[in-house]
């Protein structure tokens, strides 16, 4: 396909986030300073140089707040604190300062859809009676049917159980995730006021932005989900849209946008281009645009590529639909291939060396696209998703199998055997690392020509030089299994087929593998600089 499909102009004074590469840190699995087998904030601080050297622009920290850890920190009992497992508020301040000194921005996770069941508000709500003001901050309802034995709606939670749990006095409370994560009532002014104050608490400490968890879910229409005959209620928006449920009562309610307009005012009152990035699951990129209005979010995660299989056609579609959806507005796209909720892309694309080659090729292609990119810790080492034995599986969303634990195994830093320098001593990490990771440690890959770590360092440096800023983008003619596009002088080719493909003329500036003469082998991507 030819023709200009996209033109983004970057102002010289463009905000930092517009084309930033942000590295997601899952604190419990990044680096352990105190040697208890769980990563912590001081561990992250001790590795800031590694991140700066890798060449990312920002870090995003998954939750570190006090939490019973039923959902590994997404069940927050105090959004202004730090769980002792991870350190203290002064450790957070020190991390912010160290990251800023190294030139890195810091985004933190904000979890407004629910609290932990251990949050003082929920503890009070359980003690109080039906109809009390304490219950109003959550979504308590009477049941249906004889003696209220049926839940108030037919909703399923994302983690696969009914979305309602009954309490001793017979009422039910809503939880779209784990039963230990009761949903807040966003029509309650105290809830809105509390989150404004939480935003300010962390903005005052210097955070540069917030990743907003379940941004599409804060406000609900409490009625049954109507599904076509022969199908069952489901909380996965993609499944619902596939079976034709357009008007989902659980997600993407128009009133969620009032919340973000309010937050936009709070955040933009601070200097330094502070920002909000939405985790919003929508029907597709065009519906994301609703979250990216000038007075709401600066960014929203675009999961389209993460959800695609290894296929030039699917990748093309992911790129095209995103750019077409967003380019008419001021919004800039984001790209992501892995995170703490998904099977690592290295493993999604197959097994062994071929899968790693594909993962590197997909990353290199993603890094050439306009907008911002998000990386997930460990992908720069080419870590695979780990199949953990049942006795080590910890995720509440296990779906009868491995759940999300496989992408959360602690990073290998150095040495020949677990714990691979994860902590200062011999304490084994909270999830066991495969012994085969000896070749994948940061130490083993540093300075090693062709290693995935050196490939990421080179690709991030090349992105700064060739793939940012003022450019128009257009697709070039290519065989069916190949994607080829141009941005300014940069030509990108990704070969998803099974035979080599000829490379166009130009100076080769990055390759995810080895080129074969003037051909690009299968499972490989290249960047070239076109003349003129
Ligand atoms: C999305 C987060 O990414 C996930 O890890 C968490 O379990 C749910 N939201 C609930 O907070």
Considering only CA atoms, which of 182, 112, 113 is closest in space to residue 141? 182
Give 314-367 pLDDT, tens digit per residue.
Answer: 999 999 999 998 887 778 999 999 999 999 999 999 999 999 999 999 999 999
Rounded-to-integer distance, Cα 131 and Cα 141, Å: 9
Phi, psi of 173 (to 5 degrees): -120, 150
Which helix (DSSP H) or strand (DSSP E) does residue 47 occupy? none
Distance 65 CA to ligand 1 centre (A): 14
Which residue puts its alpha carbon closest to atom 8 of ligand 1? 74
Protein residue with least CA distance to atom 3, ligand 1: 341
DSSP 8-state code for residue 138 = B
**Tokens representing 328?**
């008419």
Q: What is the predicted pLDDT for the residue at 3?
A: 45
Cα 287 to middle of ligand 1, angstroms: 20
d(CA 340, CA 380): 14
Query: What domains can be seen in the chain, in order of their start residue?
Result: 19-111+189-218+255-455 (3.20.20.80), 120-174 (3.90.400.10)
pLDDT score recorded for residue 240: 80
Cβ burial of 129 (10 Å; 0-12, 13-18, 19+) is: exposed
Q: What is the pLDDT of residues 216-272, one digit of tens each?
A: 999 999 999 988 888 888 888 777 877 877 778 999 999 999 999 999 999 999 999
Residue 92 belongs to what H/E stretch? Answer: helix 89-101
C-alpha to C-alpha distance for 361 and 520, rounded to whole angstroms: 11
CA of 254 to the centre of ligand 1 (A): 21
- Kindly list the protein residues whose Cβ atom lies closer than 6 A to any atom of ligand 1: 71, 74, 111, 177, 213-214, 279, 340-341
Residue 162 exposed, middle or buried by CB count within 10 Å (0-12, 13-18, 19+) = middle
Residue 519's H or E segment, with its range, is strand 519-520
Residue 421 CB coordination number (10 Å): 16
Three-class SS string for 481-507? Answer: CEEEEEECCEEEEEECCCCCEECCCCE
In 85-193, DSSP assigns E strands to 105-110, 140-141, 164-166, 172-174
CA–centroid distance, residue 213 to ligand 1 (Å):
7
- Alpha helices per DSSP H over 164-255: 189-204, 237-242
Contact indicator for 31, 95 with CB cutoff of 8 Å: no
Mutate to test the pocket of ligand 1, among 26, 69, 74, 339 (most ligand atoms within 8 A of CB): 74
Sequence-separated (6 or more) residues with CB below 8 Å from residue 336: 301, 302, 303, 305, 306, 373, 374, 375, 376
**Residue among 59, 99, 52, 44 at smallest CA distance from 457:** 52
Residue 151 scores a pLDDT above 50? yes
Q: Which atom of ligand 1 is nearest to the CA of 404?
A: 5
Just list the catalytic residues.
Answer: 213, 279
Beta-bridge mates of residue 284: none
Out of 303, 341, 403, mutate this one to test ligand 1's pocket (max ligand atoms within 8 Å of CB): namely 341
Task: Please write the tens of the pLDDT for every residue from 500-527.
Answer: 999 999 999 999 999 888 999 999 999 9
Residue 97's Cβ-side half-sphere holds a number of Cα atoms within 13 Å equal to 7
Yes or no: say if 496 and 365 are a contact pair by the CB < 8 Å rule: no
Q: What is the distance in A from the centroid of ligand 1 to the CA of 341?
A: 7
Q: Span 386-395, mean pLDDT?
A: 89
Place of tokens 């909000």: 276
Tokens for 347, please give them: 């493993």
Q: What is the pLDDT of residue 1?
A: 36
Half-sphere exposure of residue 132: CA atoms within 13 angstroms, side-chain side: 13
Label residue 399 left, alpha or beta by phi (over 0 means left) and psi (-120 to 50 means alpha).
left
Average pLDDT over residues 134-163: 96
Residue 185 has pLDDT above 60, yes or no: yes
In this structure, are residues 298 and 15 in contact, taking their beta carbons and an 8 Å threshold?
Answer: yes
Ligand 1 pocket: which of 71, 163, 279, 395 to mutate (most atoms <8 Å of CB)?
Answer: 71
Measured in Å, residue 27 CA sits from the centre of ligand 1 at: 14
What per-residue confidence (pLDDT) applies to 248?
Answer: 87
Contacts (Cβ under 8 Å, ≥6 apart) of 58: 16, 17, 20, 21, 22, 23, 104, 105, 106, 107, 208, 209
Residues near 294 by beta carbon (within 8 Å), at least 6 away in sequence: 330
Q: Does position 215 have pLDDT exceeding 60, yes or no? A: yes
pLDDT of residue 321: 93
- How does residue 469 score in pLDDT terms, banded at 50, 70 and 90? confident
C-alpha span between 383 and 440 (Å, rounded): 7
- Please say whether the beta carbons of 412 and 433 come within 8 A: yes
Model confidence over 156-178: pLDDT tens digits?
A: 999 988 999 999 999 999 999 99
CB distance 39 to 433 below 8 Å: no
Is the pTM higher than 0.85? The answer reads yes
**H/E run at residue 325:** helix 312-326
In the prediction, which pLDDT does 2 show? Answer: 40
Q: 3-class secondary structure for 187-210?
A: CCHHHHHHHHHHHHHHHHCCCCEE
Give me 92's structure tokens: 């957070």
Section 90-109 average pLDDT:
98
Banded model confidence at residue 9, pLDDT cuts 50, 70, 90 = low
Q: How far is CA 179 from CA 72, 83, 156, 159, 210, in A?
A: 14, 21, 11, 9, 25
For residue 428, the 8-state DSSP code is P
Total residue count of the chain as it appears in this document: 532
Residue with tokens 């049917």: 145
Burial of 142 (0-12, 13-18, 19+ CB in 10 A): exposed
Percent of the chain with pLDDT over 70: 97
Which atom number of ligand 1 is nearest to the Cα of residue 176? 10
């Amino acid at each position: 396909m030819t023709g200009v499909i996209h033109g983004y102009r970057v102002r010289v004074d463009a905000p930092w986030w517009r084309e930033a590469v942000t590295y997601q840190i899952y604190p419990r699995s990044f680096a352990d300073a105190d040697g208890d087998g769980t990563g912590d904030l001081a561990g992250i601080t001790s590795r800031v140089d590694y991140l700066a050297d890798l060449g990312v622009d920002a870090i995003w920290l998954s939750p570190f707040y006090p939490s019973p850890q039923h959902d590994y920190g997404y069940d927050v009992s105090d959004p202004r604190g730090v769980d002792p497992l991870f350190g203290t508020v002064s450790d957070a301040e020190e991390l912010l300062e160290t990251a800023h000194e190294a030139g890195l921005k810091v985004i933190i996770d904000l979890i407004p859809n629910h609290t932990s069941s251990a949050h003082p508000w929920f503890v009070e709500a359980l003690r109080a009676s039906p109809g009390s003001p304490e219950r109003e901050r959550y979504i308590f309802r009477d049941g249906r049917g004889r003696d209220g034995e049926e839940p108030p709606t037919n909703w399923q939670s994302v983690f696969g159980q009914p979305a309602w749990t009954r309490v001793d006095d017979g009422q039910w409370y809503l939880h779209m995730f784990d039963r230990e994560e009761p949903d807040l009532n966003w029509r309650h002014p105290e809830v809105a006021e509390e989150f404004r104050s939480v935003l300010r608490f962390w903005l005052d400490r210097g955070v540069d932005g917030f990743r907003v968890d379940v941004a599409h879910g804060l406000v609900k229409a409490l009625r049954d989900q109507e599904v076509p005959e022969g199908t069952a209620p489901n909380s996965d928006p993609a499944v619902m849209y596939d079976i034709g449920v357009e008007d989902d009562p659980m997600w993407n309610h128009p009133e969620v946008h009032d919340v973000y307009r309010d937050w936009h005012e709070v955040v933009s009152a601070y200097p330094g281009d502070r920002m909000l990035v939405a985790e919003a699951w929508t029907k597709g990129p065009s519906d994301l645009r609703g979250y990216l209005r000038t007075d709401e979010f600066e960014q929203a995660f675009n999961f389209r590529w993460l959800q695609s299989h290894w296929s030039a056609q699917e990748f093309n579609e992911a790129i095209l639909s995103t750019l077409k959806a967003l380019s008419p507005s001021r919004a800039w796209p984001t790209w992501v291939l892995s995170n703490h909720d998904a099977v690592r892309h290295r493993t999604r694309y197959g097994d062994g060396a071929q899968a790693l080659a594909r993962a590197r090729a997909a990353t290199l292609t993603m890094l050439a696209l306009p907008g911002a990119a998000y990386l997930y810790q460990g992908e720069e080492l080419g870590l695979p998703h780990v199949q953990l034995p049942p006795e080590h599986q910890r995720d509440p969303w296990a779906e009868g199998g491995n759940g999300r634990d496989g992408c959360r195994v602690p990073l290998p830093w150095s040495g020949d055997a677990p714990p691979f320098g994860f902590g200062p001593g011999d304490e084994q990490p909270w999830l066991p690392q495969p012994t085969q990771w000896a070749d994948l440690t940061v130490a083993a890959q540093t300075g090693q020509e062709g290693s995935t770590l050196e490939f990421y360092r080179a690709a991030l440096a090349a992105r700064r030089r060739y793939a940012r800023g003022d450019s128009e983008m257009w697709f070039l003619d290519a065989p069916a299994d190949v994607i080829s596009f141009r941005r300014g002088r940069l030509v990108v080719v990704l070969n998803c087929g099974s035979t080599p493909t000829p490379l166009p003329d130009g100076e080769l500036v990055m390759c995810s593998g080895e080129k074969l003469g003037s051909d690009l082998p299968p499972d490989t991507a290249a960047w070239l600089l076109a003349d003129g």
